[in-house]
Every structure is written in C-alpha cells, then in structure tokens.
Structure 1
C-alpha cells in the first residue's frame, strides 16, 4: 500500500493559509486510488480543523509532530505527553535563555498557539510571554502537556542554536524547528516519522511506499522513513538537503505538482 504524508504550513497551505483547489483535487484523486493520505503537522488539532477544507478531506491527522494522532472521524488514536517533571526541567533550562515559550496542553495553548501569534507585532507577543505564569499551568485540572515551543523574534534567530545546544543535553525529548525562529519540543515518541510507522501498526497496514512533503526541521523524521521525500521550493536550504527531491513552492501547488508530474501517482 502507498502512503502520502503531507505537512500543512508552508507545504499544503499557501501563504494565505489556504488549501488550493489543485491540492484538494489531488488528495481526492489519491484517495480514489486507495492511497493513504495523512496530514502530518506541528499544529494542535483545533488549529488544523479550523482551516477551510481540512475536515472535508476526511483523512487521518497527526498533530503536534506526532504527539496526537486522529482518525478521519476525529477519534483520538494515540497520544504521548511530556511529564510534569520534564516540563519543569524544560522551563528551568529555557527561561534563562530569554526566549518566548508556548505551552500546548489538552486545555489549549498558553499563552497562545503558534497560529494565534500570526500578524502580531513582536512587542505584543513578548508582553504575552511576560504575563504568562507557567507554574499555574500545572494547577489546571487533569492537565496534559504535549509540546513546548521556544520562540524568538525573527531578528534574533541565532538564539535558536543556543536553545538546541542546551536541549541536546536532555534525554527523553525530541526537538526540531518548524520555522527558523522556533524550536518545538515534544516527547521523543512524538516525531512525524514515528507517527507514520505507528499508524501503520495501529491499523494493521503495510506501507511499501511512503512519500512525504514538508518545509521544516520537524519534517526530517518523515523524510527519513520515506521512499521519496519532497522539500518545498520555499524550504530552507538545510531542509532541502535532507529530502530526496524538490518540488515547487507552497504557493505553486508544489504538493499536487510532485504527485501528478514527478511521482505520477494519479
């Protein structure tokens, strides 16, 4: 069985955060050919399904880099979390680095999720971080913590290298960048590539060919389990080097182009 795993932001979505008709049509064609299509994203589930057209695709959605896996009908198939102890340890190493911290939980994002920051000035975003009491999150009833994101202003991207160097000393986490100015931190069980293989096992499927599409550091693990992997033209050069192939940009229906004209799956 063939599987196509597609990132959302910067990949399936154009810069207006929309799914083009061309990309919608190609996904429907893949489904008619009995090819398993997966949306594999760093976003939280509510931020995925609010994108126009996503629910109509009726495909599995893997969220938070594989921390949560949903069936097409919205049923939760799998989740993995960061322990309270690990959360405290991460705060202790990140806060001295003077980076913004987003916390993704089963009760929402604190102080926000990444899509909710879009269009805001950095001064406004910084104020949100400054006003967030990160200890108070632990007092929420039955809280589960799925992911942290360290975020910096786009003029201060070099600081992300310091974040990654510090995090590399910690066990039991996985981290990668979905954009150059961030670092996403999850359980080491939460990786896009692992999620594809986990879904295969959960559903008793056998993927003899896997094709993946992405533009960020959190896509590298799905590239690693793929027969062929496609970096978008808009991806950073270091991501392009990790993919087997390149396709057109997210504003040029690069996913649809590769599936139809390079892979010729439909």
Structure 2
C-alpha cells in the first residue's frame, strides 16, 4: 500500500457536478491535473450509492476508497470490495419494508451495486436518461436495475440478491405520509435525511450513526491519518457532519449558507471548477 501524506475528498452533486451526471471539461481538467501532481490523492465522498458514483471515480482516476451511500459504505474502486460498511441486514430491511405495506408510500432500496425499486418509481426514468454515463459492464453482477410491481414482490424476490443494504428511500406525497415515515424512523431509532421538493419529499433512511463523517473516519483509519490530514469539499445539508467535525473544509461558492459559515474558506463555484482550482493551489501539501 502506497504511502499517503494527505487526502482530498469531494462531494459530487453541486460540488463538482452541476448538470446531471456530467463533470464539466474544466472541472475534469483541473481535478486530473491535481491527481497527477499529488500521486492520486483525491477521492469522492457522496450521498450517492456507488453505482451512481462509479463513472466519476473512473473519469477522475480515483484509486483511493470511495465514501458513498451518505457514508454508510467505503468501497475500493479497483476491486469493488468494501473497506467498511454500516448497513442494514436482510432481516432488518425486510422488517422496515413490511412497515410500508398498504401505506401507498413509494419505496425503493438503492444498494451500492444494484438498485431495487417499485415499477412506478420515476427514478427509473432518471437512470435511463443517463445511461450513457452509467456503464456497469465491469460490475460483478451486471444486473444492476431491478424493478418490481410491489413492495411484496421486492421482499419476496429482491432481498436475497444482496447481503446487506445501506438504506432505503421513501418518496412522500403528503403530510400524512410524512408523519408516518417520521414515526417509523423514531420507532426504530434510525437516521433520516429529508429532501423537500415542490410537490413531494424524498426521505433517505439509514442506520443511526451513518454520516459522511463515519465513512471518512474509516478512510483515515485505513491510512493511519488524522482529521487534519484530509481536505473536504461540499455544498449541501448532508455535508454538515463533516463540516462540523473536520477542520479543513471548503464550501463551493454555490453552497448553502450554513455550509459556508462552517467552512475554512469559501472557494469558487462548481460552475467555475472551484474544487479543482483550490486543490491545485494547495497541491504541495499532498506531495
């Protein structure tokens, strides 16, 4: 294992990506320049499951473990093996899914190397629209997209395909459904991230203690590094834990105000390749 002096870890959406699954040419140019000068000291820390982050890991020549699924998974992009994970077991995810039977709440269970979702889930359209970037031909099992008619069918046919599950997602359409999901989260003492939209709300549910910081600490343990040895970049609500717990955090110029207030420095925007530009300013720290 090569000696790592320091690590840079960047969020994806809103931090190095600003339009669907595309890293702009300037962003890519700046990040690859840093990779070359720093002996590949860059990685990704994202709320996405690995199968939605893999294209970026490959485009940016990332060799270090990737922190994904909001920190629940730390994965070696070379071997596609877990370095660390904080997942639900099959029995736990089955019990949770059963709580949503006959509720009308749309549920999907995205995993790191495949996704399980109900057929009427509009997320399928998102995957299909971006299939050019999402190449799964190198995955251990190329059956990545698994869709079902109902939660019952997902429980019966889908759960035996995977050993564990980072979390599940509930798509909420009204206040009654929102209250129900919050009650389930409280009953099982879980962690929920809420992402409100105009006419609905996406709620990501994880085991308690799952944050990007959990995954980052596992990464640091692997390389025997301290919190001062990692530089982090982010923009949104799920970046709060790492911005609160790590000293070297940078907010892109388009970040929410709370992230900017916690940052060591506010850098240029995602549209202007802020992360890559900043990393090349401080690249000597990684050499």
Name the TM-score class by shorter chain: 0.7 to 0.9
Residues matched between the structures, number:
254
Asked if residue 108 in structure 1 is aligned to residue 114 in structure 2, the reply is: yes
Tell me the SS of whatever aligns to 2:282: coil
Asked if residue 255 in structure 1 is aligned to residue 255 in structure 2, the reply is: no
1:34 & 1:227 partners in 2: Cα distance?
23
Q: Equivalent of 1:69, from 74, 99, 111?
A: 74
Aligned twin of 1:20: 24
Q: Deviations over 1:95-143 (max 9, x none)?
A: 67643211024662111799644289xxxxxxx7864533225652554
Aligned twin of 2:135: none
Structure 2: 5+ residue stretches without partners:
129-146
Q: Equivalent of 1:45, from 50, 56, 59?
A: 50
Asked if residue 140 in structure 1 is aligned to residue 160 in structure 2, the reply is: yes
CA contact 2:40–2:62 (8 Å) conserved in 1: no
Aligned twin of 1:54: 59
Q: Deviations over 1:231-257 (max 9, x none)?
A: 444444555555454344332323224
1:24 & 1:216 partners in 2: Cα distance?
21
Give the structure with higher Rg (CA): 2
Q: CA RMSD in A?
A: 3.8
Aligned twin of 2:105: 99
Tell me the SS of whatever aligns to 1:169: helix
Asked if residue 166 in structure 1 is aligned to residue 183 in structure 2, the reply is: yes
Aligned twin of 1:219: 239
CA contact 1:2–1:207 (8 Å) conserved in 2: no
Structure 1: 5+ residue stretches without partners:
121-127
* TM-score (ref. length: structure 1): 0.74
* TM-score (ref. length: structure 2): 0.69
Q: Equivalent of 2:9, from 5, 17, 20?
A: 5
* 1:14, distance to aligned residue in structure 2 (A): 2.3
